[in-house]
Amino acid sequence: MNRLSTEMRSKVIGALVEGNSINATCRMLGVGKHTVLRLLEDAGDACFKFHDRHVRNLRVRRLQCDEIWSFVGAKAKNVKPEREPEGWGDVWTWTAIDADTKLCVSWLVGGRDGAWAMEFMEDCAERIRGRVQLTTDGLKHYLEAIEGAFGCDVDYAQLQKIYGTPTDAEQRRYSPAKCIGTGMKVVSGDPDPEHVSTSYVERQNLSMRMGMRRFTRPTNGFSKKLENHAHQIAVYFMHYNFCRVHKTLCVTPAIEAGLTDHVWTLEELCSLIPEPKPLQQIGKAIILKALENMA
């Protein structure tokens, strides 16, 4: 089977994490669509496993969590019943950002109910050592999930945005009405009011919309398959943590968090993809002997 060179694989991954769609990447680089999708699958799986193994035992002082909406195939209200088992409909990506290092501590692709919130917060708690100050929006599912994951070892506050009554023009937009204020609610512990914020994680959500064609709206670049959607997000966060230099930090989040000592190249990212095992060649004599035994 023909394989892309490391240089070409790096170019494909670079195009995908810089906001290009699958078809645009194929046109730009002259690579087949199935080849790009297969590379995305392999890279996404490798990046997810690397993050799961190495982004742990983190010392995080301030953690910000949020969810960002997208959809696969069609919006939930437009999905036909026969498409629901394929994962079509609204999809939420839960993200947790360290406010100091800007590292993405954890992410989760799924729904937006209590079970998903619990799974997400348990994963965050497993990756962090020590007490942490945590800020989320006003989503009610966080309350039970954070208590179950962190117990009493957390200073937790919710920051609820207050929106004005939307005008007719705002009702036709994707974004909500104008924010006219915020309200802070201390849930547990003793969080520092000066650091009760979700600004960094919300800015990260914007970076996701800008950096992945699947999140750009309104376009026809949305995901058509849930697995590809998750693989793209895994590659994006690996690139964001280890390869992309943060303009404020002047280093990558992974360097700031002490997970690596240098800026990763796209070639290094692609080196995480395991090489396929060569096919075993079966000799003609072995085949003839097997046929004789069957006879």
What is the value of pTM for the model shown?
Answer: 0.87
Quick one: pLDDT band at residue 179, thresholds 50, 70, 90?
low
Average of per-residue pLDDT across 101-110: 96
Confidence (pLDDT) at 84: 87
Average of per-residue pLDDT across 254-271: 96
pLDDT of 76 strictly over 80: yes
Quick one: pLDDT band at residue 98, thresholds 50, 70, 90?
very high
Is there a contact between 67 and 94 (Cβ–Cβ < 8 Å)?
Answer: yes
Confidence (pLDDT) at 102: 96
pLDDT of 101 strictly over 80: yes
pLDDT top residue among 57 and 170: 57
Confidence (pLDDT) at 275: 80
Average of per-residue pLDDT across 117-141: 96
Nearest Cα to Cα of residue 189 among 139, 142, 141, 131: 131
Determine which of 83-92, 93-102, 227-236, 261-270 has the lowest per-residue pLDDT on average: 83-92
Confidence (pLDDT) at 221: 82
Average of per-residue pLDDT across 274-290: 61
Average of per-residue pLDDT across 135-149: 95
Q: Which DSSP string corresponds to 112-180?
A: SSHHHHHHHHHHHHHHB-S-EEEEE-S-THHHHHHHHHHTTSEEEEEEEEEEPPP-HHHHTSSS-SPEE
pLDDT of 243 strictly over 90: yes
In the chain, domain spans: 6-275
Instruction: Quote the tokens at residue 250.
Output: 């002047």
Quick one: pLDDT band at residue 143, thresholds 50, 70, 90?
very high
Position of tokens 């892309």?
4
Specify the 3-state DSSP secondary structure of 1: coil
Percent of the chain residues past pLDDT 70, beyond the cut? 86
**Dihedral (Cα; 214, 217, 218, 220), 10-degree rounding:** -10
Classify each residue of 259-285 as buried b or exposed e, where b means 16 or more C-beta atoms within 10 Å of its C-beta: bbeeebebeebbebbeeeeeeeeeeee
The dihedral region occupied by 185, where left means phi > 0, alpha psi between -120 and 50, and beta the remainder, is beta
Average of per-residue pLDDT across 219-231: 90
Average of per-residue pLDDT across 1-15: 87
pLDDT of 97 strictly over 60: yes
